[in-house]
Amino acid sequence: MTKRIRFYLPGFGVQAIATLLEDRAPATCRMVWELLEKVMEAPVHHGTETGPELWFFIPNRPDLPYEHCTVFPAPGDVVVYHRLPGIVASNEEVSDIGIYYDRGGKNLIASLGWIPCNVFATVTENLAALACAARDVPPSGKERIIVSRAME
C-alpha cells in the first residue's frame, strides 16, 4: 500500500496530498510516518531565503541519514532538513519539513551556505491550489498547518 500524507491549511480551506517515496528515502519516510501517528498541527512559515516553500518545525532528528538529497527542490517536493545552531533563537539544532510549491526553490541559508535536504515525498494532488494559498502565507508563522496520514 502506498503511504500518503495530507497537508491542510485551515486558514485557506486548502489541502494537498503527498505520496511518500519509500524506495528513495526509507529512513525519512519511516520517521515522518511515525511522527504522524497523531495528527500534527504547527505554525507554518513561508520561505524567505529558500523561495517558494512552506515550512514548519518538527522534533529534531539529528540521527537521520542523508538520503535522496538535493539543494534545488522541484515543485511538489516535500523535504526534511536540519538547521544548525545559530539559525534559530534557541541556538539549538532543529529539523523542519518543507513543501516546495513552485520553481526556483533552493536550500541556501545566507549565513551558512547550501544545506542539503532529504526529498521524501511528492505532492500528487492539489499542488496548484496549495501554490495559490501558499503565496499568501506570511513568513511569520501566523498561519497554521495540519498534517496527517492520508487515509483512503
| Strongest mean pLDDT among 13-22, 63-72, 132-141 | 13-22
- Residue 48 in this model has a pLDDT that exceeds 70: yes
Portion of the chain with pLDDT greater than 90, in percent: 64
Q: How confident is the model at residue 87 (pLDDT cuts 50, 70, 90)?
A: very low
Question: Would you say residue 88 has pLDDT above 50?
Answer: no
For residue 17, pLDDT over 60 is answered with yes
pLDDT in tens, 103-135: 988 776 656 677 788 999 999 999 999 999 999
Domains of the chain by residue range: 4-149
Express each pLDDT in 34-43 by its tens digit.
999 999 999 9
> Does position 30 have pLDDT exceeding 60, yes or no?
yes
Q: Note the pLDDT of residue 63.
A: 79
Is the per-residue pLDDT at 77 higher than 70? yes
Amino acid 91: pLDDT: 52
DSSP for 108-140, written as a single string: EETTTEE--EEEEEEEEE-HHHHHHHHTT--TT
**Cell representation of residue 27:** 529512513
What is the DSSP code string of 81-96? Answer: EEE-TTSSTT-S-EEE
Owner of C-alpha cell 510516518: 33
What average pLDDT score do residues 61-72 get?
86
Residues 52 and 126: their CA atoms lie apart, in Å, by: 16
The CATH class of the 4-149 domain is mainly beta
Q: Phi first, then psi: give them for residue 113, nearest 5 degrees.
A: 95, -155
d(CA 7, CA 144): 10
Closest CA to 119 of 99, 147, 145, 95: 99
Q: Would you list the DSSP string of 37-79? A: TS-EEEEEEE-SSS-SEEEEEE---TTPPP-SEESSPPTTEEE
